[in-house]
Amino acid sequence: MKHLIIALFGAAVAFTFTTAKAEEKTFEGEMSCAKCNLKIADSCEDTLKVGDTLYLLEENGKRKTSEHVCSGSAKAKVTGKVEERDGKQFLVASKIEVE
């Protein structure tokens, strides 16, 4: 019984670590400002539209990224992890390349 409990605990810990660790992916789309261009926010923050999905970008805890695109839009390639918060899709960026 003791071995069974230890085995189940080990499996639960391994499952938690594999599901908690989101995988980084690269997305290509149109980067623009949620306030100035899309008119969906009260302050400047970057978004990336990939197909029908709009991701709110976050870099180093900030929503206005180092490659901020304020008016208009620009093609961009963003590498990061997707998170869902309050029903919104966030892309926590580790690398942003604006064309």
**Domain layout of the chain by residue ranges:** 24-98
Strands 46-50 and 73-85 come out as unpaired
Any bridge partners for residue 33, and if so which?
Answer: 46
Query: Who has greater pLDDT, 11 or 75?
Result: 75
| CATH tag for 24-98 (out of 1.20.1330, 2.40.50, 3.30.1660, 1.25.40) | 2.40.50
Per-residue pLDDT band at 3 (split at 50, 70, 90): low
The mean pLDDT value for 50-70 works out to 94
| Residue 84 structure tokens | 């869902």
**For the segment 17-47, what is each residue's pLDDT rounded down to a tens digit?**
444 567 999 999 999 999 999 999 999 999 9
β-strands 88-98, 53-58: how paired? parallel
How many CB atoms within 10 Å of residue 51? Answer: 7
Tell me how far CA of residue 50 lies from CA of 1, 8, 9, 16, 65, in angstroms: 51, 40, 40, 29, 18
